[in-house]
């Protein structure tokens, strides 16, 4: 059962977290082009909406990754391992970065592109620097979690 759950956990991480990380990272560059005055702005707006949709959908799917991970850790009897606890804390921080910093700023850009009344394109453009930093932090957190999962300090596999 542990091998099945571990395989499912890794597969979900690749399928769910990978696309969120890539889409969120691509979003600021595409948003900057879409909010600009150049001729490519209209074409980039569609890309921005697609990247936003990918980020939202795969973020929702990504909730399964820590859920299956906790189940796997319980079956393997490693819930109290320091590396696992650190990974869980970093996962929570990554989720908060996504929910509090990344997605709201993406929402603001998409609203500005749609011309919604209370959306300000200038403010959305100004928030892109923070959005870029937030997506970088999100990516870095997932990279650290991945390394912790592979290295597993104190693991009994000696790999």
Residue 156 lies in a domain: no
Residue 22 lies in a domain: yes
Average pLDDT over residues 125-139: 91
Number of domains, the chain: 1
Q: Which domain holds residue 116?
A: 2-151
Residue 100 lies in a domain: yes
Q: Which of 35-44, 63-72, 114-123 is modeled with the greatest confidence?
A: 63-72
pLDDT the model gives residue 153: 72
* Residue 158 pLDDT class (50, 70, 90 cuts): very low
Chain mean pLDDT for the chain: 89
Q: For 152, which DSSP code?
A: -
d(CA 44, CA 113): 10
pLDDT the model gives residue 42: 76
The angle subtended at Cα 141 by Cα 145 and Cα 32, nearest 5°, is: 145
Regarding pTM above 0.75, the answer is yes
Average pLDDT over residues 141-154: 88
Residue 157 lies in a domain: no
Residue 159 lies in a domain: no
* Residue 155 pLDDT class (50, 70, 90 cuts): low
List alpha helices for 77-127, DSSP H: 82-96, 103-114, 121-126
Residue 6 lies in a domain: yes
Is residue 46 predicted with pLDDT exceeding 80? yes
d(CA 32, CA 109): 9
Is residue 154 predicted with pLDDT exceeding 50? yes
Residue 11 lies in a domain: yes
Average pLDDT over residues 74-95: 93
Residue 158 lies in a domain: no
């Amino acid at each position: 059962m542990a091998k099945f759950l571990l395989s499912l956990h890794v597969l979900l991480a690749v399928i769910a977290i990978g696309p969120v990380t890539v889409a969120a990272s691509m979003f600021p560059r595409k948003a900057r082009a879409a909010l600009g005055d150049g001729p490519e702005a209209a074409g980039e707006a569609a890309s921005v909406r697609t990247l936003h949709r990918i980020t939202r959908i795969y973020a929702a799917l990504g909730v399964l990754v820590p859920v299956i991970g906790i189940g796997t850790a319980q079956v393997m009897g490693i819930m109290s391992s320091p590396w696992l606890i650190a990974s869980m804390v970093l996962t929570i921080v990554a989720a908060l970065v996504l929910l509090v910093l990344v997605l709201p700023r993406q929402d603001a850009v998409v609203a500005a592109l749609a011309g919604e009344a209370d959306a300000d394109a200038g403010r959305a453009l100004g928030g892109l620097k923070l959005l870029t930093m937030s997506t970088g932090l999100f990516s870095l957190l997932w990279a650290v979690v991945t390394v912790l999962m592979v290295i597993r300090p104190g693991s009994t596999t000696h790999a």
